[in-house]
Amino acid sequence: MSQVASDKRQNASAEKRTSERHLTLQTARITCTDNSFSLECAILDVSDRGACILVPEGATVPEMFTLSLDHDSSLHSCRRAWRKGARVGVSFV
């Protein structure tokens, strides 16, 4: 894919967002809603409505889960919106 096509695709995704994303690098934990497992992750950017997180390549990320931020112990109910390799987009529900 050319750089121009890649830039257009990224701009189209950004235009769909209704709230501004803020770059961050925070650690967090994904916990399955039935508490059957948890997974460490990193938050790459966050907004009022969702986030982009980084998980180990090939890790299972359930459709619905709780995201627990390490720095303040806050909890966010999440829905997986998309996945590209180790990056996962989530919306807060």
User: What is the per-residue pLDDT across 5-37, written as a single tens digit (0 to 9) for each?
Assistant: 444 455 445 556 567 888 888 999 999 988 889
pLDDT of residue 78: 97
39/17 Cα distance (integer angstroms)? 27
* Cα distances (angstroms) measured from residue 36 to each of 8, 14, 49, 62: 40, 34, 26, 11
Task: Answer for the pair 79, 93: CB distance below 8 angstroms, yes or no.
Answer: yes
70/26 Cα distance (integer angstroms)? 7
Query: What global pTM score does this model have?
Result: 0.76
The domains located in the chain, with CATH, are 19-92 (2.40.10.220)
